[in-house]
Structure 1
Amino acid sequence: MFRILFIFLLPFFVFGAELSPAEKNASIYGALTLIPPLVAIALAFITKDVILSLFLGVLSGTFLIGMNDNGVLSGFVVAFTDLCARMVASMADAWNAGILLQVMCIGGLIALVTKSGGTKALAMWLGARAHTGVRAQIYTWFMGIIIFFDDYANALILGPIMRPLMDRFKISRAKFAFIIDATAAPITGIALISTWVGVEISAIKEAYAQIGVEDINAFTIFVETIPYRFYNIYMLFFVVASAVMMREFGPMYRAEMASRAGKNGGRDFKIANLEDQAFSPKEGIEPRKINALIPLGAMIVLSVIGFYANGLGALGEEELKAVQADPFSFVSIRTAFSGADASVVLFQAAMFSSIIGIVLGLWQKIYGIKEGIEIWIGGWKTMLTTVLILLFAWSLSSTIKELGTSKYLVDLLGESTPMALLALVIFVLSSIISFSTGTSFGTMGIVTPLAVPLAASVGAKYGLSGDEFHAFMCLNISSVFTGAIFGDHCSPISDTTILSSMGAGCDHIEHVSTQLPYAIVVGIISTFCGFLPASFGVNVWVCLAFGLGVTVLAIRILGKKVSGEVR
């Protein structure tokens, strides 16, 4: 009798008030929590329809959640209503709303710049100096490095500026999107001043607090992890090496050869540019670089100033006093940037820059005030597909979070992992979570609190101390951050991947399918030339030099020479 009663009451003990919804769902569904991201990702490649794939991915997740309390039949109804509620909640979130507004507002800004002949003039100016397709790619890479402070700004600004130049040399939109994506998160993730620094430093500090270490300089640890960011460094180098060697492989090679033959993404090259023609400069208008440099330059400058000013408002009293004591020191600037709300700042900068763009057009009598506003609104409309994709991607992310997908994956790790394999295991785990959820930040927040205590425990178990222990900790923290970016690069539901496709004017699935082999190759090089040797005590600088050499060798062996380059 007592045994029967115990079995009956067991669920109430297991799924009591102490368990969060994610923990409860992860315990109930286990591996089934992987269904929503797998559905979204698999269908994206099969159907080539990102919106449909994301919709069904979210719906499968909300069905699993709804089925818990409502049964199978009612679960379908609840699933649909929950999906709609999540989309509303995604749009209502302050951060997400800022991202949507900045995306659409930058679309309006780019329409103004393009209509006034600014992008054409800038492309002509760069084209006079970029005499080959190789130089065009290097210039694009360099521009991506310059816009180091935010990955979203990189994708949204770099695309419209460099697209005409890349088209001139018949560089495929897929390769263009890859260069944008490869110089977005990889450079922002290791920049000393960026919108990422606050997230990374906070994750480090909170994770160390879990092992009872409060008195640490999280920024110093962040800086010391940079040499161990193997994927970031190898990927940035990969872009330059593939451009200089003029070699591509896999789907990217086919995309490049098709582009050289006058096709872009399997379509006629002219058809691929229809979205640009709507905002092509008026006949008789002389293209001027100032029509691009002034508004876009204003956006960059205003963004940097905005990050500082907005960040100051988010600081605590003690931090604010420290910054005010020496407001323009590196530490003060970094502290202010770490507290900034990037989504709001970029929207504000884009809005003000749009006003500058309209005024420039009026001053040069390119269009009247009414037409200028119509052009700006038209630019907003071009971003509606991107907005819808982002809303579904965020809804999928919230569904996966509540379903406990990440909790299930993290629980697969035990403390039995050997020290030499720990960094690799954490890298792979971070990659899987980032790939499944489409978010680098979320992955860092999920895995760092696991990685730091686990690394500290394993390091102590193997008798590490002093500099060896510190280097081991930096290696494992880096494996979280680089794995998050690697998985994000591979994921079709990542917001930066989506924005890179949009910025380059490339079909989203084509961008994902062409970038995926490159990301995997660099990920493998990061594993065998970076994390594994470093785990066995090889000097990090030797690992970096070895990995860069292997990157060149991989491109040489796997790649084929791209012929038909326009000189």
Structure 2
Amino acid sequence: MDSYGIISLVPPILAIVLAWWSKQVVLSLFLGVFAGAFIINTYNPILAFMATFDNYVLASLADSWNAGIILFLLAMGGMIGIINKSGGIMAIGEYIAERANSIAKTQFATWLMGILIFFDDYANTLIVGNTMRPITDKMRISREKLSFIVDLTAAAVSSIVPISTWIAFEVGVIRDGFDSIGIELNAYTTFIQTIPYRFYSLLALVFALIIIFTGKDYGAMLEAEKRARSTGETLRPGSTPMVSNEIEEYKKVEGESFTFFNSFAPIIGVILVTIIGLWYNGGGMEAGITIQEAFGDADASVVLLWAAVSGSFIAGILTLAKKILSLEEVVDGWIDGAKSMFVACLILILAWSIGSIADDLGTANYLVSILEGNIIPEIVPVMIFIFSAFIAFTIGSSWGTVAIVMPLAIPLAHSIAIPMLPTIGAVLTAAVMGDHCSPISDTTIMSSTASAVDHMDHVRTQMPYALTVGVVAALFGFLPAGFGISAFYLLPVGLIVLYLIVNIFGKKAEDLI
């Protein structure tokens, strides 16, 4: 049968509701997969339990592409673990912090550090917040503003750069969506092509710069900045700041350690191996094959694994050559970093599994059947953006949102002939936006923790900014993109609108003292 009908919506809806209620994304996704297997196996719980693992979880891992992506994620985490154990991540923070000597420069240094630590959003959040907090306090910048910049840059950057701990997850889910509709498109190439359509993430990064260099704020953030400037109280009186314990994992080693430039050597190695590897693996050495064709034909899962392992070796060899760590400590650092990717791997495997469940149940076919003729196809990207942002807000997980929505969005876009790139971009960037607004988001909580600010103060001051960028992304990005207008025309318009909003509604805290 093409679809199980309305019952095919049970797995994703169950995953959404349970994630919202329990705040446990891994468990919720697993139960969503089990619910689908329960339906398919004629409501037999024993057969459903076995099928959940045999036909979906293990089947996902048995796929060579998926296995390569999982190994890449572990190797990338291992590389970061070696860099961190060698003091490299703290070195990045200290290098930038030393160059901040004014309010604008300090805020820009915080933003820039968030950009440079692009390879992992967790490391980004913890390092930037803890490194810059003493400096922003000295400059009378509110903790609310610090946590806003920290939170904004972390996921927004990690989710769009071609080399990060996010890339494996995003490429894997995109490829799974393509497989479900039987089209052969290169998932890695598609990922690159969606970057201009990540309207929220791109606009948010520039919005922060507008706030920083105009010196203007509005809403609750303006009140927080006014308080900090006038009284020197970087925290709201009576607030309960969260204190970071995680930073103990990111402390500078005693004695010799990685420098700022040492820290980026493995990352540069990853980038170079990825570029050369995509060209080589895609047949670039054959006559008549262009670079674009080679990149499109390459197996990105294999190439990314080459790159991450190469980065791990570069980090390890450099550490041993500088006599910072012993061989045993290098291996321990790699293992610790790989361990930090465990939950991410679980979510990724379950994302593939729930995508397979949706395919077997014909969930997308059912949605198409009820939407065809009842909705303007061109507004689907903006609807997907709003829906995904709401899901991310309610469950507090960017990855969980993508895992739930992407298996539905790609088949839907294909079936009703709407632009694929804006639709995929809408899911990926809306997940970041909803995460920025959600008080139960892990990265939002970590940003409050690393910045040592009252968590609800952080949410209360950041939400108006995230919603501002989100509305602009929806109205001036995804809505016209659904009608086929290129992102290269829409992004400048969105930036102009944001600049006007800040200048019309924003005020300088110093002017109100």
Distance change in 2, residues 1:423/1:518 (3 Å):
farther
Aligned to 2:331: 373
Aligned to 2:274: 303
Distance change in 2, residues 1:503/1:402 (3 Å):
farther
Give 2:427's match in structure 1, choosing from 466, 472, 484.
484
Aligned pair count?
A: 460
Q: Distance in 1 between matches of 2:311 and 2:96?
A: 22
Please give the secondary structure, in 2, of the residue aligned with 1:415.
Answer: coil
Q: CA deviation at 1:516?
A: 7.5
Residues 1:360 and 2:334 aligned together: no
Please give the secondary structure, in 2, of the residue aligned with 1:366.
Answer: coil
Q: Distance in 2 between matches of 1:297 and 1:409?
A: 44
Q: Does structure 1 retain, via aligned residues, the 8 Å contact 2:381–2:482?
A: no
Aligned to 2:154: 180
Q: CA deviation at 1:525?
A: 1.8
Q: Distance in 1 between matches of 2:302 and 2:265?
A: 21
Aligned to 1:425: 380
Distance change in 2, residues 1:411/1:553 (3 Å):
farther
Aligned to 1:549: 496
Give 1:271's match in structure 2, choosing from 239, 245, 248.
245
Q: Does structure 2 retain, via aligned residues, the 8 Å contact 1:227–1:541?
A: yes
Aligned to 1:322: 288
In the TM superposition, what whole-angstrom CA distance separates every residue of 1:44-94 from its partner, at most 9, and x where no partner exists?
xxx4x4xx34313431442254145433xx33x344333334333333333
- Residue identity in the other structure for 1:412: I
In the TM superposition, what whole-angstrom CA distance separates every residue of 1:512-550 from its partner, at most 9, and x where no partner exists?
979877555434223433565788999998865553333
Q: Does structure 1 retain, via aligned residues, the 8 Å contact 2:88–2:258?
A: yes
Residues 1:81 and 2:50 aligned together: yes
In the TM superposition, what whole-angstrom CA distance separates every residue of 1:362-399 from its partner, at most 9, and x where no partner exists?
22222322232222222222332333333334433333
In the TM superposition, what whole-angstrom CA distance separates every residue of 1:192-222 from its partner, at most 9, and x where no partner exists?
xx99999999x99xx9x9xxxxxxxxx9xx9
Q: Does structure 1 retain, via aligned residues, the 8 Å contact 2:197–2:421?
A: yes
In the TM superposition, what whole-angstrom CA distance separates every residue of 1:296-339 from its partner, at most 9, and x where no partner exists?
222222222222222327xxxxx95422xxxxxxxx22222223
Please give the secondary structure, in 2, of the residue aligned with 1:129.
Answer: coil
Q: Distance in 2 between matches of 1:36 and 1:92?
A: 26
Distance change in 2, residues 1:114/1:533 (3 Å):
closer
> Under a length normalisation based on structure 2, what TM-score does the superposition of the two structures give?
0.69
Give 1:240's match in structure 2, choosing from 205, 209, 213.
209
Q: Counterparts of 1:43-58 in structure 2 under 5 Å?
A: 43=21, 47=22, 49=23, 52-58=24-30
Q: Distance in 1 between matches of 2:486 and 2:273?
A: 41
Give 1:122's match in structure 2, choosing from 92, 109, 114.
92
Distance change in 2, residues 1:30/1:142 (3 Å):
closer
Distance change in 2, residues 1:248/1:310 (3 Å):
farther
Q: Distance in 2 between matches of 1:176 and 1:552?
A: 21
Give 2:297's match in structure 1, choosing from 339, 356, 364.
339
Q: Distance in 1 between matches of 2:445 and 2:298?
A: 25
Q: Distance in 2 between matches of 1:363 and 1:340?
A: 34
Q: Distance in 2 between matches of 1:61 and 1:532?
A: 32
Q: CA deviation at 1:236?
A: 4.2
Aligned to 2:398: none
Residues 1:37 and 2:19 aligned together: no
Residues 1:98 and 2:41 aligned together: no
- Residue identity in the other structure for 1:183: V
- Residue identity in the other structure for 1:450: S
Q: Counterparts of 1:166-565 in structure 2 under 5 Å?
A: 166=132, 169=135, 175-185=149-159, 231=200, 233-244=202-213, 245=215, 247=217, 261=235, 268-277=242-251, 280-281=252-253, 283-285=254-256, 287-312=258-283, 320-323=286-289, 332-415=290-373, 417=375, 422-429=377-384, 432=387, 437-438=402-403, 442=407, 445-452=410-417, 476=419, 479-490=422-433, 520-530=467-477, 546-554=493-501
Aligned to 2:35: 63
Q: CA deviation at 1:116?
A: 2.2
Q: Distance in 1 between matches of 2:484 and 2:313?
A: 56
Q: Does structure 2 retain, via aligned residues, the 8 Å contact 1:262–1:269?
A: no
Q: Distance in 2 between matches of 1:249 and 1:482?
A: 29
- Residue identity in the other structure for 2:82: L
Question: For the pair shown, which has the larger CA radius of gyration, 1 or 2?
Answer: 1
Q: CA deviation at 1:428?
A: 1.0
Distance change in 2, residues 1:306/1:483 (3 Å):
same
- Residue identity in the other structure for 2:324: I
Aligned to 2:80: 110
For structure 2, the residue ranges without an aligned partner over 5 or more in a row are: 137-142, 184-188, 392-400, 436-440
Q: Alignment RMSD, CA only?
A: 5.2
Q: Distance in 2 between matches of 1:61 and 1:251?
A: 42
For structure 1, the residue ranges without an aligned partner over 5 or more in a row are: 1-18, 148-152, 210-218, 314-318, 324-331, 456-475, 493-497
Aligned to 2:438: none
Q: Does structure 1 retain, via aligned residues, the 8 Å contact 2:73–2:341?
A: yes
Q: Distance in 2 between matches of 1:251 and 1:38?
A: 31
Distance change in 2, residues 1:156/1:274 (3 Å):
closer
Q: Does structure 1 retain, via aligned residues, the 8 Å contact 2:33–2:357?
A: yes
Distance change in 2, residues 1:125/1:55 (3 Å):
same
- Residue identity in the other structure for 1:446: P
Q: Does structure 2 retain, via aligned residues, the 8 Å contact 1:448–1:480?
A: yes
Aligned to 2:106: 133
Q: Does structure 2 retain, via aligned residues, the 8 Å contact 1:104–1:381?
A: yes
Q: Does structure 2 retain, via aligned residues, the 8 Å contact 1:195–1:342?
A: no
Distance change in 2, residues 1:480/1:67 (3 Å):
closer
Q: Does structure 1 retain, via aligned residues, the 8 Å contact 2:61–2:67?
A: yes
Kindly, what percent of the aligned residue pairs are identical?
25
Distance change in 2, residues 1:351/1:444 (3 Å):
same
Q: Distance in 2 between matches of 1:345 and 1:351?
A: 10
> Under a length normalisation based on structure 1, what TM-score does the superposition of the two structures give?
0.63
